[in-house]
Structure 1
Amino acid sequence: MRPDRHGGARIETRDVCKRYRGSSQYAVDTVNLTIEAGEFMTLLGPSGSGKTTTLNMIAGFEDVTSGRILVDDADIAPVPTYRRDLGMVFQNYALFPHMTAAENVAFPLRRRKVGKKEIERRVAEALDLVRLNEHGNRLPAQLSGGQQQRVALARAVVFKPRALLLDEPLGALDKKLRESLQLEISRLHSELGITFVFVTHDQEEALALSDRIAVFRDGRIEQVGRPDELYENPASHFVATFLGDSNVFTGQIRDGVLDTGWCELRTEGELPAGPVVLMVRPERLRIGAPAEPGANVLSATVTDVVYQGAFRRVLVEFDGGTTGQVRDITSGTPVTAGQRIEVHWPGHAGVLVPGDEIDQPRRVAVSAQ
């Protein structure tokens, strides 16, 4: 299927809140997000962060407590789910077990009273798009998990929606199959040219697929940006630790140096006086090779070495008691648990974020009138 590359829908949430009846807390709290036409936007966060609830409000499965959701500048609050022209893919596939793959894909077209010949043509195109054109007569039980998810994808795009909403569609699959379908979803986005809104708690998945990522925390958006922006320049301790691993050093900035109380570390960047956190990604740390001039050098004890194929994780405890890790190539300098080593990294390799970050209390909802 090769629909016109119209770019899909532009989706915007304005001060969107969601509070469930009987709850004193907001599940989604003042979410403002603009998803550009044709963009692949991922809503990323831990369980209970509000990402799926936000997607369900866009889809129409959940009502908005307050705020507005716009699709191409039109408020969709009064528009029923089936008329929003948005495709939906669920984690559990949601296929009809008594229908063949082709019949499942045809279902949304029949609901729209599309002609029989047109249904046959579109179903064939959709199954070909997901590379299942030879499996149309099979029941879901006769298909693998990955094939069932492809049928769900075909059903969601067969009616040419303005946007495709995907709620953790790969969560039930094993790692290898999940990575294979990530490539398929990326290909679909490129070929269809429509807006994708993808929900996941898998950081690697978000980094691999997205044009931009919105990181959710406690019902709010913590940071929005391109994958490389969020990984290299996290705006908070939460983003830095949730989106990948980080070595964390806390202290006070004095004369451009981070004083941790047990060591002084050179940094780059500016923050107001007060407590700060220095985040250094494990792959930026080095062991064995000579440190470059001006680098931070710390003594540490190896606590464990985790083999990961081409890479290894060297877990360490620095002399000040802080724990950390180095992600290094397996063929690097041999190290073993209990060994004393020196770890070093250049001053520009770290990112400073405010160190007084604490869990902010969620806004308490007023009683319903």
Structure 2
Amino acid sequence: MIPLVDLKTEYETLKNELNQVIQEVLESSCFILGPNGGKLEKEISQYIGVAHGLGVANGTDALLLCLEALNIGSGDEVITTPFTFFSTAEVIARVGATPVFVDIDPKTYNMNPDLIESVITEKTKAIMVVHLFGQPADMDTILAISRKHNLRVIEDACQSIGASYRGKKIGSFGDFGCFSFFPSKNLGAYGDGGMIVTNNGDLYRKLKLLRNHGSSERYVHTHIGLNSRLDEIQAAILSVKFKRLDEWNNRRKELAGEYSLKLAETVQVPVEADEREHVFHQYCIETNQQDQLAHFLKQKEIATGIYYPIPLHLQKAFSHLGYKNGHFPVSERCTKRILALPINPMMTQKQQDYIIAAIKEYFGDQPCHQLK
């Protein structure tokens, strides 16, 4: 089976270096809030081009802590997209606020900024913008709206580390940038992990308290926080992988370019918007035969993924918001058409050629030869 993500080959490639740093952490007996976490925070904040980085337990907590740092809660509204992973809106509801959805751009799958102002009310406190699948959202327009209406901006960049908008790294535009280090991400840990980046020193200091039970001094608690700390083993692993991030993102872009070149006449391939560097966390095609093609490729031992089968406004957990089928037609249409193909830095040219041939065989373009 050709996997969507090949973590086994990735580990074999880095095995000696990874085992060494893990052993060093074990021998140090320092597992929480140690030097590896601090090193990674510095590396990533400098890479993104911001003043501060803060390691946390996962990408979901990163988003949650940002909302809490901004005192967003009951009675407040946060605008976001219904076409994303559940955690984006989950954290808004978790702090007691209301997620308010706007539909997506049919080309980039990101929030359509032309729809944002129509849902702003006196209760609106922030925009949580998602850079989906590795492609940046339209930050110029979104930031202009946020300034006009005095709204905070939280970047959910959990799928897009390394991506750029007009030459500037994603995560550096809003009040906060949030990253996930879930194992399948472009920069993935061997467990959960996440990071928040910001240029705001006061908010950074508050976040630092909140991630550690609201405490800066042992047994002294000035805030109600939570336990959300990136552990030392994961930080050490991530520092090893971080050195390869740009190389691996470039490989993803090469694979995406090959897919698009060879499949453009067969299926709808991703659109890369102008002045945006897409890092292809996912490579998603569109077809009106989503399920049938996925089944065919499975028979050919090719993994695929559907992102996302149910948009957030139609999830049972958000039924109380009153959204129905037809409210966000672009998002609803995409759930029935998008299919993610394998794309990861470990993929060989032979594997990709086989996938392309299989898709063309399904659509009757040419025979597909078995992968040897």
The structure in which a higher percent of residues are strand is 1
Q: TM-score, normalised by structure 2?
A: 0.26
Structure of higher CA gyration radius: 1
